[in-house]
Structure 1
């Protein structure tokens, strides 16, 4: 199954863009600022969450338009008729409320994860290793969500209880013990599930990464870094015991909201943050490929790679394309020219993008 018959209406710099006749590899070529990444962002919104830029919905609507945008696509199988039509949109009167339809019926954004597993790699993600733990935690949660759509509701319930507990802790008067106990029970229940989901995905990614050779790409080793105890009862007791310290800090200092994803270079035991720029990009590519393989085993997989070939030598580009070919995912790539993609040119659908307009050239 793959995405086809894709449409963008009043999205970023695209007024009315259609992409038909997609293939396993799909290449968007054009100058910087032409609107290539905007197409990838639109495709990323066919999954739960805020897309690959994490932008406000109101900022995505075409500036010269009336406000609001629409993105649609068909999930197809070979030459068969459309199986599923999925779409997401906003309305001018409510520019920051995302609406979703599947086969014409209104549904939630979270339900998109039941139809399609979407992953992406962008140049901005190269800061993953040097930024704080919150960035890596969100990166991990996005990977978990692509594999387990239920992760979104678990995380949302945990965050709601966490905000309420923090609000009570920050008040001048000492909150009633029953209120805190109720919130802590909710946090423990959802937090334990959250940690199990994260640990399971890290373990599955580690097993998939272990199958990859260390050359020509550096291979990452992943570990889940948490100071919180696993298990609902243990986590609830930790929240209760930490009340005095948390009240002094006016926030919860223990829990899965403070966890981290540790990434090292396999075989060298060197933190990824200490690797070269080339090694760090290779680590990101390896993780994205392993995740795409896992995602494609359950639902249709979509992998969005923005400028991924720009700084790879010919050997690494060829190896990357060979691995993408066997990943099971439909792949979308961007580049300023076709030359770096010669290895897949004959099997790719290619569009030229210019000022928000798209022309099929192969």
Structure 2
């Protein structure tokens, strides 16, 4: 479901901005620092999570503004809004058709995927970055994944605090928290495994082309509720010494290989890694559209800057007719090969034309 109207109020460097994008390509061009990525970040907040920058909410409020911010969007006959108030700058508020709700509910209305320059080192970073990437892919296929993750992390934090306390924890309370972690952890593992399997099968079935094909494997901790419950119970002393739980889905990792070269992604060149990531995101977006019958909104930040004209044209052709695609770039000429009609905006100093 595309965004047909987007309103930003005191968000980043945008004091009061209104966009009415079309259902296909939305092209935002302007100099560096003009506020293009800020618009993509605002759209990313229409889904569960902390947005494409994972920044604190207080940093999103415009300097010199009221201290809070607002992002509102129209999706057909649905109105979605999120933001903060000056009295509580780190408390996120979410409304759907005027009614207050939890951020996890947003997954029922909208699927948002993104690719940013900061993700170019995904295969070189630690497992945490890849887990977050994997969870975004999983959430698009299983909206309940956000709820399971939130519950799991809350129970894990409480267990960590109990184990860190100098006073011996109540065994029954500890067991109850571990039971919660086991229940939600098994659900997380199941959803991730299903997402990886579906995406891996799709990528392996694709013919070789301009965008490299990625092989995917879920590594690290894998198990079910019973095995996690046992690991947590038997590992209490170990976890207390470490200051964290050493077993569970929060210890998983997404291993990626270049299928064409049979080589781990972290050993590939920078260009090959970017091609792998782009091919992976494109295949996932197509998988989501096929599986849930709703094309995700794609946010592609500076995606055309490092592609040659042939690859840019191939990218635009593959994206055409596959839902709403937001793209940013410094030069309008980068998007000359975009097929068909596109909504084009020039962004300058927080103003949108």
CA distance in 2, matches of 1:248, 1:21: 53
DSSP 3-state at the match of 2:229: helix
The answer to whether structure 1 residue 285 and structure 2 residue 278 are counterparts is yes
CA distance in 1, matches of 2:159, 2:134: 24
Cα deviation 1:40-87 (Å, max 9, x = unaligned): 0010011111110111111111112122111111113xxxxxx21111
The answer to whether structure 1 residue 264 and structure 2 residue 228 are counterparts is no
Counterpart position of 1:56: 56
Cα deviation 1:306-328 (Å, max 9, x = unaligned): 000101112211211121125x3
Q: 1:161-180 residue pairs with structure 2 within 5 A? A: 161-180=155-174
- Of 329, 347, 350 in structure 1, the residue corresponding to residue 344 of structure 2 is 350
The answer to whether structure 1 residue 309 and structure 2 residue 304 are counterparts is yes
Conserved? CA contact 1:145–1:152, under 8 Å: yes
- Of 313, 318, 328 in structure 1, the residue corresponding to residue 313 of structure 2 is 318
TM-score, normalised via structure 1 length = 0.92
Q: Comparing 14-23 with 184-193, which one deviates more in the overlay?
A: 14-23
CA distance in 1, matches of 2:263, 2:240: 37
CA distance in 2, matches of 1:105, 1:243: 42
Cα deviation 1:168-226 (Å, max 9, x = unaligned): 22233543433332222111111111100111111111122224333212111111002
- What is the number of equivalent residue pairs in this alignment? 351
DSSP 3-state at the match of 2:218: strand
Structure 2 gaps of 5+ residues are none
- Of 119, 128, 131 in structure 1, the residue corresponding to residue 125 of structure 2 is 131
Conserved? CA contact 1:166–1:250, under 8 Å: yes
The answer to whether structure 1 residue 90 and structure 2 residue 76 are counterparts is no
- Of 209, 228, 231 in structure 2, the residue corresponding to residue 235 of structure 1 is 228
CA RMSD of aligned residues (A): 1.6
Cα distance, 1:273–1:178 mapped onto 2, change above 3 Å: same
Conserved? CA contact 1:117–1:296, under 8 Å: no
- Of 96, 105, 110 in structure 1, the residue corresponding to residue 104 of structure 2 is 110
Structure 1 gaps of 5+ residues are 77-82
TM-score, normalised via structure 2 length = 0.94
